[in-house]
Amino acid sequence: MRVLGIETSCDETGIAVYDTELGLLSHELYSQVKLHADYGGVVPELASRDHVRKTLPLIQRALANAGSTAADIDGVAYTSGPGLVGALMVGACIGRSLAFGWQVPALGVHHMEGHLLAPMLEDERPAFPFVALLVSGGHTMLVRVDGIGQYQMLGESIDDAAGEAFDKTAKLMGLDYPGGPRLAKLAEQGQALPELSFPRPMTDRPGLDFSFSGLKTAASQAIAKQPTTGHSDADIAYAFQQAVVDTLAIKCQRALQQTGLKRLVIAGGVSANVELRRQLEVLTAKLGGQVFYPRNEFCTDNGAMIAFAGAQRLQAGQSEDLAVITKPRWPLDTLPAVSLPAVSFPAV
């Protein structure tokens, strides 16, 4: 089955063609970073308008690079949530319209399920069951995954997501948008200082939920005291990153021990963080397990993960009628399960 995937949930337009027998045939990505940089964050209306301009040309390019035409497409998958409602509507309307015109089934895909399954696009992929840490600018959650659609929520952020905390702290430090990756890069120049240590929120109590708003406040206080303390931006960035990474690692260890599982998946934009990967690789090795994550280009929003996730469900016979439905808020654990025999993971 050959599926066209469309991702327009926020500020990146991602298009891909995935074949259940041949693997990923093509993927195209356009980032709106420059468009939103002057505003210090994503402007929803501008994001929607840019998706309108970019989606169809990228679809044409992805089809050409996949050596495919409309006649070769057996299904269309598009992100229907969570995300910015206007941006979601663009991809949903285009995807649904193309499917109707091509007379093929269409399916709205859960954005976070796309991230969760992104490591399946790699040659070395995790077997079910596993624990997944989904960590991005909008979400931080731990999930037990027994199969596609078989998700048990173990914990999530009660306020800011980890990526959101990175971005907000970077903005306080005067770093350009997008701030999270810039803060992580700056942290590479910093060093550990005994007197500069931030809290590891909610690690002093049982449970797997997260909270990062207080950590952001602690960082803002350290930034305000710089004229007195003399701490460099790099040292503050280092201390902040270590606090976030330590917190995520502690909760991942608890989740693995609580479930008795050995395999850990990390996905989402923050999963590209080098220090986070390093700590989780050390952690899983000590526990006799293994950590899996997608290549960097599939950590951030992309069409490949949507095409892949959609292909698994379309191949299992799931599809939707002509109604265009977007779900800006959509709990991951409400998704229907996909029977394992229908799932195929060819080499990329």
- Tell me, what's the pLDDT at 180? 94
Is residue 176 annotated as involved in ligand binding?
no
- Tell me, what's the pLDDT at 299? 97
Relative to beta strand 140-147, strand 2-7 is: unpaired
Name the residue with tokens 């526990």: 287
**Are 281 and 263 contacting, i.e. CB atoms less than 8 angstroms apart?**
no
**Phi, then psi, of 229 in degrees rounded to 5:** -80, -30
Residues contacting residue 224 through CB under 8 Å, at least 6 positions apart: none
- Tell me, what's the pLDDT at 254? 98
d(C-alpha 224, C-alpha 257), whole Å:
39
- Tell me, what's the pLDDT at 109? 98
Is residue 27 annotated as involved in ligand binding?
no
Is residue 23 annotated as involved in ligand binding?
no
d(C-alpha 207, C-alpha 315), whole Å:
37
Phi-psi region for residue 67, left (φ > 0), alpha (ψ -120 to 50) or beta? left
Is residue 139 annotated as involved in ligand binding?
no
Question: What are the structural domains of the chain?
Answer: 2-117+298-334 (3.30.420.40), 128-293 (3.30.420.40)
d(C-alpha 29, C-alpha 297), whole Å:
9
- Tell me, what's the pLDDT at 181? 95
The token duo for 205 is 């109590």
Radius of gyration of the chain (CA): 20
Is residue 111 annotated as involved in ligand binding?
yes
Is residue 134 annotated as involved in ligand binding?
yes
**Phi, then psi, of 173 in degrees rounded to 5:** -85, 0
- Tell me, what's the pLDDT at 96? 97
d(C-alpha 141, C-alpha 11), whole Å:
21
Is residue 138 annotated as involved in ligand binding?
yes
Regions in the chain scoring below 50 on pLDDT: 341-342, 347-348
- Tell me, what's the pLDDT at 348? 45
Taking the complete model, does pTM exceed 0.85, yes or no?
Answer: yes
**Phi, then psi, of 147 in degrees rounded to 5:** 170, 175
Q: What is the largest CA-CA distance in the chain?
A: 67
Is residue 167 annotated as involved in ligand binding?
yes
Name the residue with tokens 């859960």: 110
- Tell me, what's the pLDDT at 345? 57
